Amino acid sequence: MAFTRAIQRFLSSFTVDEYLRLAETTSRSCLENFVEGIIQLFGDEYLRRPTPTDLQRLLYIGEIRGFPGMIGSIDCMHWEWKNCPTSWKGQYSRGSSKPTIVLEAIASYDLWIWHAFFGPPGTLNDINVLDRSPVFDDIINGQAPQVTYSVNGREYHLAYYLTDGIYPKWATFIQSIPLPQSPQAVLFAKRQEAVRKDVERAFGVLQARFAIVKNPALFWDKVKVGKIMRACIILHNMIVENERDDMIVVDEQDVYTHYDVSGFQQGEDTGSSDVDLTFSTDTPSRIADMMRMETTIRDSQMHQQLKADLVENIWRRFGHDGDNN
């Protein structure tokens, strides 16, 4: 852990050449070699897709928070690119704003970043970035673990992410309810918006830990900028892993909640029969199967049914609490 903290201080102070007492070119060269080493040594472990054990734990916490089948929240962050090449500025600048590069990420309750897609120009919105993103490639190619869970007595086979309102109404996305009217809708919107902030908190912690990500990127080469982002996410996840068992989460009522997963084991009885997992990566990847899976992911009717069931599930579980009467 001391190693990651030292690295964190190094990255946070990189822009201060006087502190490092190195020439600018030397410090840049050190940084380039450093991030290459971090990615090569730790990238496979700390930029991995969720393993069956990871996925079981995420679904377990999602069930506790009232969202069976939820494995994280997705959003985008912009990183200002100070030294963007002049010929690219029109592509990376929105209106009169400065050039930025977009990071699409999925984060879980512990702020671990499970998916990071970095590189789209800042003129793109979240939907445009999603069209380029490989976030669902594993599902489409039949390489993702199969998930089975039930909500409000109905069975589903596709995990989902919590999003803000700009994302499309797909079976894999659940948004809040704008202008909720009924008590059930009000409670659902309140809890969805609270849980969805996991990814925003992850962005904030990432920038707070690494000033190099918070400040404008100074490299001209976009590939080098991307490697810096990858290295910072790897180090961020290393710190999350070290602190996970002691973490506390702020819920929608600003109450500090400790999710105890220290005794959690894959396949153990969690006291709930709503989540059941089977894992298989043997699904054929023929073109017809890939098209069928993509259609399933984009199924708006399934989205509406799942959302209605989640509204009922949350009302049944939390609607009779004292604060909601």
Q: Decide: 211 and 80 in contact? Cβ < 8 Å.
A: no
Which residue would you say has higher pLDDT here, 145 or 65?
65
Token digits for 17? 């050449």
Share of the chain above pLDDT 70, in %: 79
Strand 113-121, strand 70-80: pairing: unpaired
- Which residues on adjacent β-strands are paired with residue 80? 100
pTM over 0.75: yes
To the nearest 10°, report the CA torsion of 38, 41, 47, 49: 180
DSSP 80-140: EBTT--GGGHHHH--TTSPPEEEEEEEE-TT--EEEEEEEEETT--HHHHHHH--TTHHHH
| Mean pLDDT value across residues 201-212 | 94
| pLDDT band for position 26 (cuts 50, 70, 90) | confident
Which residue would you say has higher pLDDT here, 19 or 121?
121
**pLDDT (tens digit, 9 = 90+) per residue, 154-203?**
999 999 999 999 999 999 999 999 999 999 999 999 999 999 999 999 99
| pLDDT band for position 20 (cuts 50, 70, 90) | low
CA distance 98 to 81: 8
**pLDDT (tens digit, 9 = 90+) per residue, 254-277?**
433 555 554 444 444 433 434 444
State residue 314's pLDDT score.
96
* Mean pLDDT, rounded, of the chain: 84
